Structure 1
Amino acid sequence: MTSLGFRTDLALLTASGSVVEDRGTHLVVRSPDNPSYFWGNFLLLARPPFPGGEREVVGAFHTEFPLADHVSLGIDTADLSDEATAAFEDAGLTVDVATVLTASSLQAPREVEAEVRPISGDEEWEARARLSQQLYPQTSEESFMTFARQKNAQERRLVDAGRGRRFGAFVDGQLVSTAGIFVTEDGVARFQSVETHTEHRRKGLASAVVHGAGQHALDQLGVRTLVIVADADGDAIGIYRRLGFADVERQLMLEKRTGEWAEMDGA
């Protein structure tokens, strides 16, 4: 696997209970405990399909995940031809090319009016799920909280295994921003789900939790390389670059979402 983004994705998924099956031309990634986790249930192709094979790939996803109301495909290459992009879009998928960034040290962020520390205990993990839920109001509370609590369970298995922590920024005792960091292989750690409450953005809190989590990995977990992934045209990538992260590759992901999940990014 050439993609650092997907390699670190799979390392954390398998460490937290997901299953990877090798089909030769592609991998099938399953998270049986969390079937609505789009990037826990996907196909990872070694290379783009031959021209005209895009709908066949979508059909292969439905064969592997007959009950899924989404399609998620990764391709272990940074480039997709214009023709292939158009063909996947004609098949109903959105093509997303994210940016993978790395750092071996971090610049200190500005001071924030918040307590930044690892989250712990059932109440704080539930607060993390609630924070995620308020960011996606178009989904039903029941559906999203089921998904979010299962994501919490996966991360807590990583915490229990000593692979890392999820840091939070607390304002007046309320969790308003979080970032997770977990070791994927010797000397490498990957960030997970950086989220900030909509009413507490542009206050430096995301920088603070990313810095706190990353410094913990560098100082306490023997990590030499920090890995984070961001939308190429989103606000977050600027935050990461100011902390000292540098672009190293692109990560190619294609997906189709339906119903209440259709407008949800990053699940």
Structure 2
Amino acid sequence: MNVSSLGFRTDLALLTESGSLVEDRGTHLVVRSPDNPSYFWGNFILLARAPVAGGEREVVGAFRTEFPLADHVSIGIDAADIPEESQAAFEAAGLTVDVATVLTASALVPPREVDAEVRALTSEDDWEARARLSQQLYPSTSEEAFMTYARQKNAQERRLVDSGRGLRFGAFVDDTLVSTAGIFVTEPGLARYQSVETHPDHRRKGLAAAVVHAAGRHALADLGVRTLVIVADTDGEAIGLYRRLGFADVERQLMMEQRSGEWASLDG
């Protein structure tokens, strides 16, 4: 299956480089992250196109067959949109349909100065702080379950760091990590951002812009990158921040989810 979506293409490149498995079934891909089964978008099905009318529940059933122990359903479609009747059918099957925006930039507008130390994560303490920051954003999920997921996600990213594909940057206020963003090369000249996160008590202070800018500057200056890729919720606050830094919309990325158990309240 030839993936045309820039969003999914860069997702798949980072997943395979960090240890995930991709099985090509012709009409769809099955993506598995055996070391992190709670990672929704590390364990998903990517369809080449929307199913024929009435086939939506069959697709959900196919996911259940591939991932019988999963507490979620994650299905992507390699298309910018789907017919309204298909979206309604997926929603009737219990899925939330999300159309994200993929943006790119070849240069960045410098953000305002911030009262924080902005640098790459390097130590074990830095990476544990990143996991703790993520967990604080989702307090409705048990600490044990989320920290297991977050540490496994860290391990995947650190494999990318060790291979020289990029770094994760953080903003530290009084030696505490409060905002972070990763950037990793997916193919020659192209790099994709990963997981921009900021503690709620430190938002609207320019910190997210600072870490996104620092990560992008590193990729452009040190990794031979010409194009930066970032994905944002189409209706979220972050997309405005990215546009102010110089990113422009290029396509839509179609993703559908269903969550259960303690993960049902997890947003994002």
Same fold (TM over 0.5): yes
Q: Deviations over 1:151-172 (max 9, x none)?
A: 0000000000000000000001
Query: Per the alignment, in what secondary structure is the counterpart of residue 182 of structure 2?
Result: strand
Instruction: Show the counterpart of 1:220.
Output: 222
Which of the residues 81, 84, 89 maps onto 2:83?
Answer: 81
Q: 2: CA distance between counterparts of 1:236 and 1:85?
A: 25
> For 1:175-190, what aligned pairs fall within 5 Å after superposition?
175-190=177-192
| Deviation at residue 262 of structure 1 after TM alignment | 1.1
Q: 1: CA distance between counterparts of 2:265 and 2:231?
A: 20
Q: 2: CA distance between counterparts of 1:249 and 1:143?
A: 34
Instruction: Show the counterpart of 2:118.
Output: 116
Instruction: Show the counterpart of 1:132.
Output: 134
Q: Which amino acid aligns with 2:211?
A: V
RMSD across aligned C-alpha pairs, in angstroms? 0.4
> For 1:1-267, what aligned pairs fall within 5 Å after superposition?
1-266=3-268
> TM-score, normalized by length of structure 1?
0.99
Q: 1: CA distance between counterparts of 2:173 and 2:125?
A: 16
Q: Which amino acid aligns with 2:189?
A: G
Q: 2: CA distance between counterparts of 1:38 and 1:218?
A: 30
Query: Per the alignment, in what secondary structure is the counterpart of residue 80 of structure 1?
Result: coil
Q: 1: CA distance between counterparts of 2:267 and 2:5?
A: 21
Query: Per the alignment, in what secondary structure is the counterpart of residue 66 of structure 1?
Result: coil
Q: 2: CA distance between counterparts of 1:257 and 1:79?
A: 22
Q: 2: CA distance between counterparts of 1:130 and 1:123?
A: 10
Q: 2: CA distance between counterparts of 1:265 and 1:140?
A: 14
Q: Which amino acid aligns with 2:47?
A: L
Q: Which amino acid aligns with 1:40?
A: G
User: In percent, how many aligned pairs have the same letter?
Assistant: 80
> TM-score, normalized by length of structure 2?
0.99
| Deviation at residue 239 of structure 1 after TM alignment | 0.4
| Deviation at residue 263 of structure 1 after TM alignment | 2.1
Q: Which amino acid aligns with 1:253?
A: M
Structure 1 unmatched ranges of 5 or more: none
| Deviation at residue 226 of structure 1 after TM alignment | 0.1
| Deviation at residue 2 of structure 1 after TM alignment | 1.1
Q: Deviations over 1:158-207 (max 9, x none)?
A: 00000000000000110000000000000000000000011000000000
